[in-house]
Amino acid sequence: MIVAIVNEKGGVGKTHTAVNLASVIAMKGYKVLVVDLDAAAKASLILTQNENNKKTIKDILFDKADPADVVIPSQVPGVDIIPSSKAFYQADTRLSNEQIEGADSIIYPEERLSYALTVTSNITEQYDYVFLDCPAKLDKVTLNAIYMADRAIIPVFPTRWPLEGMMTTLTKIEQVNNRHARNGIKLDGVIISSFKTRANILKACISSVPDLVGEERVYKTTIRDAAVIGESEWENLPVVMYAPKSAIAQDYFRFGDEFIQRNEVTTNG
């Protein structure tokens, strides 16, 4: 199963959602791949403690590198990663301006990632779950993730702009599916992040989310705000490894349980 972690707004916890959910799923015995599609490369840094990996997603998309030569093990057992780097910052422009030919047809800009990882390579078939960590904008890179994925998870900080970003993202998902006349990506769920339990205005925003997307599409788990998440960033570790007994780590463990209940697959193990 391929899952895009996406919201056009930044600061909503996409990367922490990707790396911590991937880690929790791997702890349950599943094989997990994270694909870092953000030029900030934060997922790469957290999972490998290295922001200068020799080969990256850029090599796959633009230099025809074999994904098997780019995938590296992370510091989390059971989690591999296709890393990114700051050199990926021009990806949107290149995807817009460069066209490639497949075996039978032209490969359109939003199809490039899927073509590279699922058509010319079987790399994704080697994993139970593949998580795509998307940049904070609905550019061609994010459209590639939406086109490729089976499911989308939208992290939302419960204030106005991230909620509007959620709705814009949902519209874009529908547009991609309609343009390609397929039943492609579906919304797996909205996960509320950075939740402050004593902030009444945030509670009011949270109560509005089910009305916007449907109650069944909102994860029951919420990820609370906690200083330890910043500490884990300094140590370049997922918080579920840095402080597994912390309240926020326990939130991520519950989130992982809820995700598996919705999306359990037969393990590749």
Query: How many Cβ atoms are within 10 Å of 3's Cβ, its own excluded?
Result: 23
- Collapsed DSSP state (helix, strand, coil) of residue 3: strand
Contacts of 53 (CB under 8 A, 6+ apart): 44, 72, 83, 85
In contact, 11 and 229? CB cutoff 8 Å: no
Residue 18 placed within a domain: yes
Contacts of 137 (CB under 8 A, 6+ apart): 8
Does the pLDDT of residue 267 top 60, yes or no? yes
Please give the tally of structural domains in the chain: 1
Domain of residue 210 covers: 2-263
In contact, 196 and 224? CB cutoff 8 Å: yes
Residue 46 placed within a domain: yes
Strand order in the sheet with 32-36: 72-73, 79-82, 32-36, 129-133, 2-5, 151-156, 186-195, 218-224
Inter-CA distances, 258 with 71, 222, 249, 264, Å: 28, 11, 14, 10
Which CATH number covers residue 76? 3.40.50.300
Residue 105 placed within a domain: yes
Mean pLDDT of the chain: 88
Does the pLDDT of residue 244 top 80, yes or no? yes
Residue 90 placed within a domain: yes
> What pLDDT score was predicted for residue 257?
97
Of the candidates 173, 192, 191, which has an alpha carbon nearest to the alpha carbon of residue 183?
A: 173
Over residues 217-242, the mean pLDDT reads 92
More confident site: 245 or 184: 245
pTM of the model: 0.91
Over residues 195-214, the mean pLDDT reads 61
Give the pLDDT confidence of 61-113 residue by residue, as tens digits.
999 999 999 999 999 999 999 999 999 999 999 998 777 766 566 788 889 99
> What pLDDT score was predicted for residue 96?
84
Residue 268 placed within a domain: no
Of the candidates 237, 176, 171, 209, which has an alpha carbon nearest to the alpha carbon of residue 12?
A: 209
Residue 110 placed within a domain: yes
Residue 235 placed within a domain: yes
Does the pLDDT of residue 268 top 90, yes or no? no
pLDDT more than 70, % of the chain: 88
> What pLDDT score was predicted for residue 77?
97
Give the pLDDT confidence of 135-194 residue by residue, as tens digits.
998 899 999 999 999 999 999 887 777 778 888 888 888 888 887 756 678 889 999 887
Residue 103 placed within a domain: yes
